[in-house]
Amino acid sequence: MATTHVETCIQVRPVHALLSCTLLGALAACAGSAVERTPPPAAVAPVPELKPGVPAGYLGRALPDSLALVPPPPDPKSPAFAQDEAIHATAQTLRSTPRGALATADADLHFPHAPTAFDCALGKTITPAATPRLYLLMQRTLVDAGLSTYRAKDHYQHERPFVHYKESTCTPGDEAQLRNDGSYPSGHTAIGWTWGLILVQVAPARTDALLARARAFGESRLVCNAHWQSDILAGRTVAAGTFARLQSDPAFVADVEAARKELAAAPAPDPAKCTAEAARLAPITGTL
């Protein structure tokens, strides 16, 4: 992707930066993929858009600086990288298990699929019809959390495990783009952990389940062979910075409050789906 395309596409990145179409393809920002338009809630100011039907983040250029927030990735000869390698080996044993199927589902950041990863932990279905403000909140914060990783990603250009070992991932169609997109920090993890923290704000009674699911969402990148453990940990740090910065944004605060109010009337998720998800989560909690 040319730099000028990136700047035209996102308009919140420095001109020299490289944006992952895999990461933000969920909002059609680069690839032009279809996005289910969120119905505009009544009496709400118009939402800025990256392109028609694709909502922008809340923070614009006021993103936390991931290069300042996280240390360099582990040196290949360090004990920290040896730990990354050991966790990589363990995670790959889960690829052909139900946990691997969940990891593949978690890799898909396209809407309306992506928010449904948190339905069971939240105890409510997240859809543009049932929870329009929450749905929009998750679309917009995907942009903020994902873009917040790129100062460090672009600086370090850390090699991903599937490239390092000449292996495959759970999403072969994304591999060409992932090869040119830095591994450190993990953008998927930053998005998932940011979503988990926001959903705790919206539904504090579900704190434990939501944060456990957010943790698993990031660890799915280990199972998918797309990230190292150090990438996951750094992604959570960037997410914490993004979440903290969002608290001072009036539009974000208003959307959180609106999401709390609309959640009460939202339907519960399918119990069968939640039973299956619980079984898929079980192996990783005792392993990684």
Q: Which residues are catalytic?
A: 188, 221, 227, 231
Residue type, 64: P
Q: Which long-range contacts (CB under 8 A, 24 or more apart) does 200-203 make?
A: 201/256, 202/134, 202/256, 202/259, 202/260, 202/263, 203/122, 203/123, 203/124, 203/260, 203/263
C-beta separation of 125 from 266 below 8 A: yes
Question: Cα separation of 162 and 26, whole Å?
Answer: 22
Using the structure block, give the residue that is written with the tokens 């001109």: 15
3-state secondary structure of 82: helix
3-state secondary structure of 203: coil
Q: Which residues contact 280 (CB under 8 A, 6 or more apart)?
A: 98, 99, 101, 102
